[in-house]
Amino acid sequence: MIQITEQNGGIIIPVKVVPNASRDRIIGELDGALKVNVSATPERGAANKALCKLLAESLGLRTSQVTIATGQTSPRKTVRITGASISVIHAITTKE
């Protein structure tokens, strides 16, 4: 199960990012984190931007409402989301 928590007015979610994938998509749960494939390369923050954009679009949020909290250069990250409820996030993390 994905460990989604509320903290400082936002929602924190652990994410495992797989860059250089064939397409951007939310895969599902992997070892307590949300597994996400992005087609961008992990160079100059491109994969991080693609991750934030994909999650924002999936939640109906602006890209600025989804930020990388920790793990800027790691495939394992924590993402901070503002403007969405935990129930909505649970819905996108379990639909794929």
- If phi > 0 it is left, if psi is from -120 to 50 it is alpha, else beta; for residue 39 that is alpha
What pLDDT is recorded for position 95? 60
* Domain boundaries, position 35: 5-94
What pLDDT is recorded for position 64? 96
Angle at alpha carbon of residue 64, lines to 62 and 91, rounded to 5°: 55
**Biggest alpha carbon distance in the chain?**
35
Q: How many domains does the chain have?
A: 1
CA pair distance 25, 37, nearest whole angstrom: 5
Report CA dihedral (91, 89, 35, 25) to the nearest 10 degrees.
Answer: 70
Q: What are the structure tokens assigned to 40, written together?
A: 């961008």
| pLDDT by position in tens, the chain (length 96) | 888 999 888 999 999 999 999 999 999 999 999 999 999 999 999 999 999 999 999 999 999 999 999 999 999 999 999 998 888 888 877 764
Domain harbouring 35, CATH code:
3.30.1200.10
What pLDDT is recorded for position 57? 95
